[in-house]
Amino acid sequence: MKSFRDKLYLASGYASGLCIVLIMLIILAQIVGRLFGFIVPSAEDFSGWALAAATFFGLAYTFREGGHIRVTLVIQSWSKRARFYQEAVVLLLALGLACFMTYYCWHMVWESYIFEEVSHGYLPIPLWMPQVPVGIGALAFNIAVLDDLVTLLLGRTPSYAPHEGELNLEEV
């Protein structure tokens, strides 16, 4: 099961990168289109949706790789026991917020589907379609936070912890 979760986080990171490439291709198509006198319909809509998808797909992978900002100035001097409780509380709060975010992302998708909302650009795209990647990314992040909370409660090191010391400011 662990390898499935790791593959999920990696796939989420790749999906995020793919969305960034998609944004680049859309912008490149717009530039070429201006040179040759044609427009790319709804390019702004597609780029915005790809940006939202890239952001949400990137959450789980970035969390697992220790890329989210952690302020360790105070807690680095705490005892192991105090730090364990602090990590558990923070992960519980993060899980609560991730669950809240995931629920409302999927609620937004459902409402857009039920009310048959469409985009207002050149191309009327049903809004639930570009919202699904946001929900999937939020769900992957939710699973990543839950995974690290369970890992911590089982007495093992969370995935982000080994990456704390990677930034050496003396080398910068």
SS (H, E, C) the chain: CHHHHHHHHHHHHHHHHHHHHHHHHHHHHHHHHHHHCCCCCCHHHHHHHHHHHHHHHHHHHHHHCCCCCCCCCCHHHCCHHHHHHHHHHHHHHHHHHHHHHHHHHHHHHHHHHHCCCECCCCCCCECHHHHHHHHHHHHHHHHHHHHHHHHHHCCCCCCCHHHHHHCCCCCC
Q: What is the pLDDT of residues 20-77, one digit of tens each?
A: 999 999 999 999 999 999 999 999 999 999 999 999 999 999 999 888 777 777 777 8
Residue 172 reports pLDDT greater than 60: no
Q: What is the pLDDT of residues 85-105, one digit of tens each?
A: 999 999 999 999 999 999 999
